[in-house]
Structure 1
Amino acid sequence: MNSCSGLNENDEMINSSMRERKGKRLWKKVKHELVDYHSLPPYLQDNEYIHRHYRCEWPLRQVFFSLFTIHNETLNVWTHLIGFFLFLSLTIYTATKVPNIVDFPTLQSLPDVLRKADFHKLHTELITCLSSLAHVPDLPSLSNWRIMELLSNCVPVSLSYNNKTDIHLLRNMKDDMANIIAPLIVRPITRWPFFTFLGGAMFCLLASSACHLLSCHSQRLSYIMLRLDYAGIAALISTSFYPPVYYSFMCYPFFCNLYIGFITLLGIATIFASLLPVFQSPEYRKFRASLFFGMGFSGAVPIFHKLILFWHQPEALHTTCYEVLMGVLYGVGALVYAMRIPERWMPGKFDIAGHSHQLFHVLVVAGAYTHYQAGLVYLRWRDQQGC
């Protein structure tokens, strides 16, 4: 009996050990499965209209691999990760190509003008004018528009012509010659405000992507990543002011410094406010959206100021159209984010794709790209005209 009893006890211990190991393997598998909203700890409960497919306190290895799996944060990660690589490509393109981009559409009319020109007279006047231009003091320090004005005088309007069309073509040729020669003497306008914006956009997009990927690991990491995400949003909004303000008011240093200083201080204050634990609470969702919306809307002041100063410049209207479109995209994105549209109308139906945060991400990338296009207009404008 004792022997049998001992065997039964041993068998029971073995079976218990096997059940324990099996239970651990099962728990390990279940632990990395997706859970529903009510199974989340409070710090991960942000949107009650998204019901399922949450990751909860996964190890970092599984968190990184989840970049390539389907869950309710997959598109949140990829929409801004793709946006980051888009702006990285735009930054490289801008650094290598944009300073060399010059449009001279009227050069097509140059052969017609030259066929009707008095070349002997043209040669004589060009040599005389360019020789005098060589003795202009501090030529390299002159602005682009001033050099273009000086060079345009080297092409006389008094050449032989037959009608008013020839006069128009010849004047276009004068502008083209000035545009061709001026970049050889004067370096393009400074690019740092434009690259500051591109850097802010890349930081925002990468921080947001990392936040959505890593926040499910632990409460501490979630706290850190959310602060980084808010800092990225503030950086994008602040640096978006730099190109329009700098290139619009580069000839008015007081207003240039005033506007850039204001938005920089506002961005820093927003980053510090985001460090408060209460800032990430779900009940402060509308407050967060309103704060970032207010930051962006403050850009209306320098835009109106620019239109008053340069109402006669087509570039001012062109860039303003881009900036209004950017503001609409950002504003709609903030509204969708704050109101949780469309998942609030059909809870649980947009858990994987189509919920508000994904739409917000797409609109942010679209708005930033629109601002990039406005920046190209500013660069071309100031490269050609200077201060």
Structure 2
Amino acid sequence: MVAMVGKEVEVARRGDEEEERKEGKQRRYGLVEYRALPVYLRDNEYILRYYRCEWPLPQVLLSAFSIHNETLNVWTHLIGFFIFLVLTIYTATKVPNVVDLQSLQHLPDVLRKADLHKIQAELVACLPLLPHLSDLQKVKDELRSSWNSIEVLPSLSRWHLLELLSSCLPHRFTHSNETSLSVLQSMKEDIANMIAPQLIRPIARWPFFAFLGGAMFCLLASSTCHLLSCHSRRLAYIMLRLDYAGIAALIATSFYPSVYYSFMCYPFFCNLYLSFITILGVATIAFSLLPVFQNPEFRTIRACLFFGMGASGVIPVIHKLILFWHQPEALHTTGYEVLMGFLYGIGALVYATRVPERWMPGKFDIAGHSHQLFHVFVVAGAYTHYHAGLVYLKWRDLQGC
């Protein structure tokens, strides 16, 4: 009897211990309030609840799929990363072809499928009718011997040559008989396939891919930082610096396409502006490694530093407008850049002022607080700059210097 009672007591004790372990695990891995956080995790006193605090790494990783006050911070930039990954693949595989085909849309409909030798013969016959014959004599001589020799003309504006040819050929066939016109009706596909590879040479892509790489690094670093920083003080220290480095990398590489493609024909200014923004970016990253830089009281200084880094791009933009005021592409890209700067600026302002949660503490703990809005503005600004880069590529592919 005594043994049975002792056994029941032991079972009850084990049950109580199991319950305590479960409750302790739930307490340890549960969400806590701001006041329960260690100092290194206290960043925004207007976000009152739903914090993860010093969770084991497996639970931290799984928390990407649970609800807490960092969930949207993780996913806004993680989704942005995948968006830019797709854009990078698209740019690498499709953009040169898209630019080539779009560049030929101005050619008249009479330039359609025709025999290669017929096209060559007509171009040779067309050249004497064109202005600036002295500049084009080399084209005529080379065309007589080889179609591919047209690529020996780096000094000639490819866009200008296409304009001349497209204006000449329809004139030559204005009085042609109906059969000739019907033959010329099918030329456009062959013109795209034959002239584009010779006349339109895609310029260097590395500045554009540098920007795309900087954007992906920034977005992935930010997402990783918001996911992992709650694990420990040491990991939070590393992640925050990675996050700041990502922001500086995005801002610096955003200058590369605009500066390179605007001033590729002016090497001095191109190298000057690229060197300046690279040095400024490296200096900002180095400053962000200082321990004091992550303290909450430096929030405004952090925002102003990154904002000032971006604002320094006003100088090359104004310079570009002075040099190319007559080019519609210069105005088009500037419009995109102004919109990008506006989005980044609003995002930095929201981040620094902690609006709207400072107006209603605790109401935006899960969704709608300033850091989430900042992330959305960053992705929108980077996407806007991507479209500016496409305009730059088409402009320089068609015109060169």
Which of the five TM-score ranges fits, normalised by the shorter chain?
Answer: 0.7 to 0.9
Query: Quick one: which of 151, 155, 158 aligns to 1:140?
Result: 151
Q: Does 1:366 find its partner at 2:380? A: yes
Cα 1:60/1:316, change in 2 over 3 Å: same
Instruction: Measure how far apart 1:107 and its partner are.
Output: 3.6
CA displacement at 1:28 relative to structure 2 = 1.1
- Shift of residue 159, structure 1, vs aligned partner: 3.4
Contact 2:123 2:165 in 1 (8 A): no
CA displacement at 1:43 relative to structure 2:
0.5
Distance 1:192-1:123 versus aligned 2 partners, 3 A rule: closer
Q: Does the aligned pair in 2 maintain the 1:152–1:177 contact within 8 Å? A: no
Residue number in structure 1 paired with 2:335 = 321
**Which residues in structure 2 correspond to 1:108-127 (within 5 Å)?**
109-110=109-110, 122=122, 125-126=125-126
Question: 1:35 maps to which residue?
Answer: 32
**Contact 1:52-1:348 within 8 A present in 2 as well:** yes
Contact kept in structure 2, 1:56 and 1:217, CA below 8 Å: yes
1:106 matched to which residue of 2? 106
**In the superposition, relative to structure 1, how do residues 14 and 299 fare at CA in structure 2: closer, same or farther (>3 Å)?**
same
Q: Does residue 379 of the first structure (1) align with residue 393 of the second (2)?
A: yes
The 2-side partners of 1:123 and 1:90 are apart by: 38
How far apart, in 1, do the equivalents of 2:215 and 2:152 lie? Answer: 33
Alignment of 1:346-361 (within 5 A): 346-361=360-375
Query: Using the alignment, how far apart are the partners of 1:368 and 1:123 within structure 2?
Result: 44
* CA–CA distance in structure 2, aligned partners of residues 151 and 179 of structure 1: 14
**What is the Cα deviation at residue 26 of structure 1?**
1.5
**Partner residue, 1:233:** 247
- Shift of residue 184, structure 1, vs aligned partner: 2.9
**CA–CA distance in structure 1, aligned partners of residues 108 and 162 of structure 2:** 20
Worse-matched range after superposition: 17-26 or 269-278:
17-26
Q: CA 1:178–1:85 in 2, change beyond 3 Å: closer, same or farther?
A: closer
**Further displaced range: 24-33 or 153-162:** 153-162
What's the CA shift string for 1:5-59, capped at 9, x where partnerless?
x999999888666544432332112111111100111111100000000001111
C-alpha contact (below 8 Å) 2:208/2:257 kept by paired residues: yes
Kindly indicate whether the alpha-carbon contact (under 8 Å) linking 2:126 and 2:172 is maintained by their aligned counterparts in 1.
Answer: no
Alpha-carbon spacing, 1:61–1:47, altered in 2? closer, same or farther (3 Å): same
CA positional deviation for 1:234: 0.3
Match of 2:172 in 1: 159
- Compare 136-145 and 348-357 and name the one that shifted more: 136-145
Q: TM-score, normalised by structure 1?
A: 0.85
The answer (yes or no) to whether the contact 1:337–1:356 under 8 Å persists in 2 is: yes
Alignment-derived partner of residue 266 in structure 1: 280
Equivalent positions of 1:71-86 (< 5 A) are 71-86=68-83
Give identity over the alignment, percent: 64
SS at the partner of 1:75? helix
Q: Match of 1:106, SS?
A: coil
For 2:172, what is the secondary structure of its paired residue?
coil
Q: Distance in 1 between matches of 2:155 and 2:55?
A: 59
Structure 2 distance, partners of 1:151, 1:349, is 61
Instruction: Give me the whole-angstrom Cα distance separating, in 2, the residues matched to 1:146 and 1:273.
Output: 45
Q: Deviations over 1:74-102 (max 9, x none)?
A: 00000000000000000000000000013
How many residues in Structure 1 have an aligned counterpart in Structure 2?
367
Deviation at 1:132, TM superposition (A): 1.4
Cα separation, partners in 2 of 1:236 and 1:145, compared to 1, 3 Å: farther
Q: For 1:206 and 1:266, how far apart are their aligned partners in 2?
A: 22
Q: Deviations over 1:264-321 (max 9, x none)?
A: 0111111111111110000000000000000000000000000000000000000000
Instruction: Measure the CA separation in 2 of the matches of 1:246 and 1:296.
Output: 16
Q: 1:15 to 1:331 in 2, by over 3 A?
A: same
Structure 2 portions without partners, runs of 5+: 129-136, 176-186
Letter of the aligned partner of 1:96 in structure 2? T
State how 1:202-213 maps to structure 2 within 5 Å: 202-213=216-227
2:42 is aligned to 45
Structure 1 distance, partners of 2:123, 2:281, is 58
Distance, in Å, in 2 between the alignment partners of 1:348 and 1:147 is 61
Structure 1: which amino acid aligns with 2:31?
Answer: L
Structure 2: distance between partners of 1:140 and 1:124? 15
| C-alpha contact 1:71 1:352 (8 A) present in aligned 2 | yes
Q: Is structure 2 residue 359 aligned with structure 1 residue 345?
A: yes
Q: Distance in 2 between matches of 1:296 and 1:202?
A: 18
2: CA distance between counterparts of 1:299 and 1:111? 43
Aligned ranges 1:4-15 → 2 under 5 Å: none
Distance in 2 between residues matched to 1:179 and 1:22, nearest whole Å: 74
Contact 1:143 1:186 in 2 (8 A): no
Whether 1:281 and 2:281 are equivalent positions in the alignment is no
SS at match of 1:48: coil
Residue identity opposite 1:159 in structure 2? R
Q: 1:111 to 1:341 in 2, by over 3 A?
A: same
Q: Cα gap change, 1:222/1:81 in structure 2, threshold over 3 Å: closer, same or farther?
A: same
Residue in 1 that maps onto 2:183: none
